[in-house]
Amino acid sequence: MKTIRIAGLICSGLLCLFLQAGTPVELKGAVRPNVLFLLTDDQRPDTIAALGNTAIRTPHLDQLVQRGFVFHNAYCMGSTMPAVCNPSRHMIQSGMSLYRYQAKPTEQTPSLAHSFRQAGYETYHHSKRGNSAREYHKHYEHSHYLEDMVERNSGHHGRTAANDAIEFLRMRDHERPFFMYVGFAGPHDPRVAAEEWLQQYPLDSLSVPKNHAIFHPFDNGELLIRDELLAPWPRTEALVRQHLRDYYACITSIDFHIGRIMETLKQQGELDNTLILFSSDHGLAIGSHGLFGKQNLYEHSMRAPMLLAGPGIPRGETSALMYLHDVFPTLCDLASLDVPAGLDGISQKPVIRGQQDSVRKTIYLAYKNSQRAVRYGDWKLIRYPLVNRNQLFNLRDDPHETRNLAGEDRHQQQLEEMLGLLAVQHEQTGDPHPLTAQDPVSGDIPNAEFLEARRPPPK
């Protein structure tokens, strides 16, 4: 996998404060960079204008893309429960993989906050309640918990998080570097957006995803969960556009408030010494493959945006594979902190600096006991043990996962190789659930009956 430098970008405004075409700004002397870690909830990887989505408006995230480094293949490893955000944030905070993180960490458990606080950083945290164990937050000197329903129903996603972050920046100890973890409640539902954001998205200007479908092709075992009941079947184009409008409006609201935080850093003269990392806990289907939630292993739901900008970060992009739990060691490495021993996460600094094309060869994904996936190179296999089904995709030729090659004769050898790799990764990750059910169901009849019963009545 190749790391590609972005050349020829126009240098203007904030861009000139940071970098000269493609050249990392090395840290000078003993100056340590501040760290600002921005994390949204349920944001697909294809929801940033500068990365190719011409429908959405994200001017401040676009600035990070233009002056920073982009990982196009950053994955949440999955979840052991329907609330995918919970394990994802545990993995991010701990640097451990899905079956090895501690839900109830001890004093000795490494964490992002602990590492930076021990290094002398003033640590700050803002997030909604219940996303990860409070024990992971105890090393933050300043903790704020968002009453997320109040925030979401206000129509101004990100406002409270930005207000608290800006207040911290004004009141902090200016003699110490800071580590800030700012978790936004959106664009997770309920997606209530104020009119100033909604009016930017006329319904007739929006297109459905390229992998839109009115139904999922079979019962994946998760069609009765909360997220899938947010919208009726069939998932018509009109229905998906309405949900996309609300979704995009919430993202644009968050982008605006990210801009406020960045402007405060600029006013304080800290912007050019702040390492900024933007990501999300996972993506979302919202009409892709006939689904609406994130309880699946397709690219739109398991990948997340991953942007880095600041001192020591070149302009560029990469197709290298990474997990979200690589963030912990990567931030430590970029800030010249010791990376705690025993983490499952791997520092992506060699990829960012152009020293290696990749530090990972494979990605293993899991959801409860019903779905497993492995990615190697251009190939991706999704296995559904409970219904004994396989999906095989070539992501180079079919990035939207619309053509299942598992049933084609000429791809049987590739299928067998991927099934073998899945078994190896299954064992190496400590996955406790079998890859084959003793009594698999077909996945056809229950799904058809379920969906037919929920078709809207004829007009």
Q: What is the pLDDT of residues 206-217, one digit of tens each?
A: 999 999 999 999
CB proximity list for 8: less than 8 A, separation 6 or greater: 21
Give the whole-angstrom CA distance, residue 92 versus residue 75.
Answer: 11
Three-state secondary structure readout of 278-321: EEECCCCCCCECCCCCCCCCCHHHHEECEEEECCCCCCEEEEEE
Q: Return the C-alpha torsion angle 55, 88, 311, 259, nearest 10.
A: 40
Number of other CB atoms surrounding residue 315 within 10 Å: 23
DSSP class of residue 356 equals -
- Cα distance between residue 256 and residue 152, in whole Å: 15
**Helices and strands of the chain, counted as H and E runs:** 13, 15
Q: What is the CATH number of domain 366-453?
A: 3.30.1120.10
pLDDT digits (tens, 9 = 90+) for 248-299: 999 999 999 999 999 999 999 999 999 999 999 999 999 999 999 999 999 9
Chain center to CA of 322: 11
Distance CA 258, CA 61 (A): 8
In this predicted model, what pLDDT tens digit does every residue of 161-197 receive, in sequence order? 999 999 999 999 999 999 999 999 999 999 999 999 9
Fold of 32-361: Alkaline Phosphatase, subunit A (3.40.720)
Q: Classify residue 232 as exposed, middle or buried by CB count within 10 Å of its CB (0-12, 13-18, 19+).
A: exposed
Return the percent helix, strand and coil in the chain, to nearest 5. Answer: 30, 20, 50
Asked whether 219 and 443 are in contact (CB, 8 A), the reply is yes
CA atoms of 344 and 329, how far apart (whole Å): 9
CA distances from 377 to 252, 354, 361, 416 (A): 33, 19, 7, 15
The answer to whether the bond into 190 is cis (omega within 30° of 0) is yes
Q: How far apart are CA 234 and CA 212, in angstroms?
A: 11
Say if CB 392 and CB 404 are below 8 A apart: yes
| Residue position matching structure tokens 């990501």 | 279
Domains 32-361 and 366-453 share a fold: no
Report CA dihedral (60, 66, 70, 76) to the nearest 10 degrees: 10
Q: Judging by DSSP bridges, how do beta strands 303-304 and 69-75 pair with one another?
A: antiparallel
d(CA 43, CA 383) in angstroms, rounded, equals 24
Instruction: List CB contacts of 81: < 8 A, sequence separation 6 or more.
Output: 87, 368
Which residue numbers in the chain have pLDDT < 70? 1-30, 129-134, 147-154, 442-459
Cis check for the bond before 217: say yes or no (omega within 30 of 0): no
The residue whose two tokens read 């079979």 is 218
Q: Using an 8 Å Cβ cutoff, are 228 and 454 in contact?
A: no
List, in order, residues 6 or more apart from 445 with CB less than 8 Å away: none
* Helix locations, 48-180, DSSP H: 59-67, 85-94, 112-118, 148-153, 159-171
* DSSP structure string for 32-51: PPEEEEEEESS--TT--GGG
* Residue-level pLDDT at 153: 61
How do the domains of the chain map onto residue ranges? 32-361, 366-453
Spatial CA neighbour of 395 closest among 372, 371, 427, 418:
418
Token match 């379920």: residue?
A: 450
